[in-house]
């Protein structure tokens, strides 16, 4: 596996990914009962993928 430089995910991009995950989480929390199942699944995927991006970047820069 190629080592990723610490500059590959700038702090601004990291903040955007964090805000996306936070926004999706807030929608899930506030509207869970009213969301159709496919929307719930999509929001769960958004949250999982956002944290996967953050985690992958963390582990690839160590």
Confidence of residue 58 (pLDDT cuts 50, 70, 90): low
The first and second tokens of residue 4, run together, are: 């990723």
Higher pLDDT, 4 or 15: 15
Query: What pLDDT score was predicted for residue 1?
Result: 44
14-40 pLDDT per residue, tens: 999 999 999 999 999 999 999 999 999
35 versus 58: the higher-pLDDT residue is 35
CA dihedral of 10, 11, 16, 21, whole degrees rounded to 10: 110
How far, rounded to the nearest angstrom, does the alpha carbon of residue 45 sit from its chain's CA centroid? 9
Residues 24 and 53 sit within 8 Å (Cβ to Cβ)? no
pTM above 0.75, yes or no: no
């Amino acid at each position: 596996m190629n080592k990723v430089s610490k500059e590959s995910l700038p702090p601004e991009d990291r903040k955007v990914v964090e805000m996306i995950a936070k926004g999706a989480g807030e929608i899930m929390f506030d509207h869970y009962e009213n969301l159709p199942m496919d929307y719930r699944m999509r929001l769960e995927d958004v949250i999982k993928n956002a944290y996967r991006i953050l985690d992958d970047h963390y582990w690839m820069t160590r």
